[in-house]
Amino acid sequence: MSPERRLSLKLEYKRYGTVITSDMLIQVMVITIDKQNIDFVKAEKIIVLDEPDMGIELVGEARVNQPMTAELTLLNCLPKPLLNCSFTIEGIGLTDGKPITVKVGTVGAKQEAKASIDFKPTITGSNVLLVNFDSDKLKNIKSFIYVAVKE
């Protein structure tokens, strides 16, 4: 049996970017061939890609039936522009039972997607505001923030 060796493999976005699925996984398979012993070894690895961080900042005091704003940001960490970008917020007692979507359009490589979405809380207490980002290359990027709504 041959001694174990580690090899570095650089995965460039231009090689895998067109086949990324919404689960953000890459399966890598490597086969090494030992020509002297006429032997081969196969190794597999699943790589989970990190989702970009989403910034959520609330502007205004969370009070029942008073408008407030969610300021949303997401950095496009890819070397290519994102097309058809949008942010969607929803939350029981926060968005009147309906999702609210704002289209952002195109976000350049290494640029930040930004949106401001107005909403009006309807129920007091601790509520969860869910935020979703979608584009042609990054889909279903999710985050949330707790909103303490006062009377």
| pLDDT tens-digit profile, the chain (151 residues) | 556 777 787 888 888 777 777 777 888 888 888 888 888 888 888 888 888 999 999 998 999 999 999 999 999 999 999 999 999 999 999 998 899 999 999 999 999 999 999 999 999 999 999 999 999 988 899 999 999 999 9
The torsion region of residue 125 among left (phi > 0), alpha (psi -120 to 50) and beta comes to: left
Buried b (16+ CB within 10 A) or exposed e, 82-103: beebebbbbbebbbeeeebebe
Measured distance CA(144)–CA(89) in Å, rounded: 9
The two three-digit tokens of residue 105, written as one number: 């359009």
User: 60-66, long-range: CB within 8 Å, 24+ apart, which pairs?
Assistant: 61/150, 62/121, 62/147, 62/148, 62/149, 62/150, 63/121, 63/149, 63/150, 63/151, 64/121, 64/122, 64/123, 64/124, 64/149, 64/150, 64/151, 65/120, 65/121, 65/122, 66/120, 66/121
Amino acid at site 51 = E
Whole-prediction pTM value? 0.81
Q: Are 93 and 121 in contact (CB under 8 A)?
A: yes
